[in-house]
C-alpha cells in the first residue's frame, strides 16, 4: 500500500482524474496545477526537490550489462538505482526501452499514483534488474521518487507502437514505495535506444528530416535549444557529431603545436 503524504496533498490532486486530460488542458492551467501541487507539498512538510539521490549506474550501462538476460530472468541479489527523465508512458514500443514498475497494489491504486508522474519529470528508481516474460529489460522497482517535477507541458511525441496509458486521480505524486509482485504498467525513462542502431535516425552524411521532430517550430527550437535537445533525438546526435569534430580538430592542431586564440 502506498505511504501517502498529508491528506492536504491528496485533496489538492483530485483535479487529476485522467492522464489523457493533460492533452487537452491549457498550458497555463497545466502550469498552475503543477505549481499548486508543489505548494501544497511544501506546506505539508514534503520537499518536492530532494537534495540528493545517489545513482549507482547510468541507463546506458544498465542496458549493456543486463541486456543479455533471458526472458523472465531476475537478478534479485543486485540492487541498483537509476535516474532519468520520463518522456512518455506507453504500453509498448519497438524503439524505446521500458522499465517495468511492479506492485502488489490493485490496478486502480497503482494508476492513481502513476497519474501524478508526468512527462518531463526527472525520477529516481531503486530496484533490481531483470526481464519480463516477454523479454523486456526492466528494473523491478522497490521505490520511485520524483527528483525534479517538470512544470510545463511538453509537446507530445506521436505514438506509433502503443497508446499512452490512462490513469485516475493521483494520491501522492512525489514519492512512493512499490513492492515488486505483479506487473502494472510500463514507464519509459530512457527516451530511446542508441540512435546509431536505428536505421531511421540521423547519422553523419544522411539528410535530416525535421518533419519527424516532436518540436517542429524552428523559432521555438532556436530560442529554446534545451527543449529542442530534450524532445528531438536527431538534434542530439547532430550536436554530438559536431562536438566530436571540433574536439578532433582541436586535438590534432594541439599536437602540431598550434595555439587556440
Q: Do 118 and 57 belong to one domain? A: yes
Q: Do 243 and 117 belong to one domain? A: no
**pLDDT at residue number 157:** 56
**pLDDT at residue number 243:** 94
Q: Do 106 and 225 belong to one domain? A: no
**pLDDT at residue number 12:** 46
Low-confidence ranges of the chain (pLDDT < 50): 1-20, 91-110, 112, 159-198
Task: Let me know if residue 201 belongs to a domain.
Answer: no
Q: Do 144 and 214 belong to one domain? A: no
Task: Let me know if residue 204 belongs to a domain.
Answer: no
**pLDDT at residue number 250:** 95
Q: Do 149 and 177 belong to one domain? A: yes
Task: Let me know if residue 1 belongs to a domain.
Answer: no
pLDDT digits (tens, 9 = 90+) for 24-67: 678 888 888 889 888 888 888 888 888 889 989 888 888 889 98
DSSP string, the chain: ------HHHHHHTTT---TTHHHHS-HHHHHHHHHHHHHHHHHTT--SS-S----SS-HHHHHHHHTTPPTT-B-TT--EEEEEE--B-BS--SS---EEEEESS-HHHHHHHHTTS-TT-EEEEEEEEEE-TT--EEEEEEEEEEEE---SPPPPPPPSSSPBP-----S-SSEEE---SEEEEEEB-S--S-GGG-TTS--TTS---GGG-SS--HHHHHHTHHHHHHH-HHHHHHHHHHHHHHHHHHHHHHHTT----
Count of the separate structural domains present in the chain: 2
Q: Do 167 and 48 belong to one domain? A: yes
148: domain CATH number? 2.40.50.140
Task: Let me know if residue 199 belongs to a domain.
Answer: no
Pick from 166, 193, 220: which residue ends a domain?
193
**pLDDT at residue number 51:** 82
Q: Do 234 and 166 belong to one domain? A: no
**pLDDT at residue number 141:** 78
Range of the domain at 221: 210-255
Amino acid at each position: 500500500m502506498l505511504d501517502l503524504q498529508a491528506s492536504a496533498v491528496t485533496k489538492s490532486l483530485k483535479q487529476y482524474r485522467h492522464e489523457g486530460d493533460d492533452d487537452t488542458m491549457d498550458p497555463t492551467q497545466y502550469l498552475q496545477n503543477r505549481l499548486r501541487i508543489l505548494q501544497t507539498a511544501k506546506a505539508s512538510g514534503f520537499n518536492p526537490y530532494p537534495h540528493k539521490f545517489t545513482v549507482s549506474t547510468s541507463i546506458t550501462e544498465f542496458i549493456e550489462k543486463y541486456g543479455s538476460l533471458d526472458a523472465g530472468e531476475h537478478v534479485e541479489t543486485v540492487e541498483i538505482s537509476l535516474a532519468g527523465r520520463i518522456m512518455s508512458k506507453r504500453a509498448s514500443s519497438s524503439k524505446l526501452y521500458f522499465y517495468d514498475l511492479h506492485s502488489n497494489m490493485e490496478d486502480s491504486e497503482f494508476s492513481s499514483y502513476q497519474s501524478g508522474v508526468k512527462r518531463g519529470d526527472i525520477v529516481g528508481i531503486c530496484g533490481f534488474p531483470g526481464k519480463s516474460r516477454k523479454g523486456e529489460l526492466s528494473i523491478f522497482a522497490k521505490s520511485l521518487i520524483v527528483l525534479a517535477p517538470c512544470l510545463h507541458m511538453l509537446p507530445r511525441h506521436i505514438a506509433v507502437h502503443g497508446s499512452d496509458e490512462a490513469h485516475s486521480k493521483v494520491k501522492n505524486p512525489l514519492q512512493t514505495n512499490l513492492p515488486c509482485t505483479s506487473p502494472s504498467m510500463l514507464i519509459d525513462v530512457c527516451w530511446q535506444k542508441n540512435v546509431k542502431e536505428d536505421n531511421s535516425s540521423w547519422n553523419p552524411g544522411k539528410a535530416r528530416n525535421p518533419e519527424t521532430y516532436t518540436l517542429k517550430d524552428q523559432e521555438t527550437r532556436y530560442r529554446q535549444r534545451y527543449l529542442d535537445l530534450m524532445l528531438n533525438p536527431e538534434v542530439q546526435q547532430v550536436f554530438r557529431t559536431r562536438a566530436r569534430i571540433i574536439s578532433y580538430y582541436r586535438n590534432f592542431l594541439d599536437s602540431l603545436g598550434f595555439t587556440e586564440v
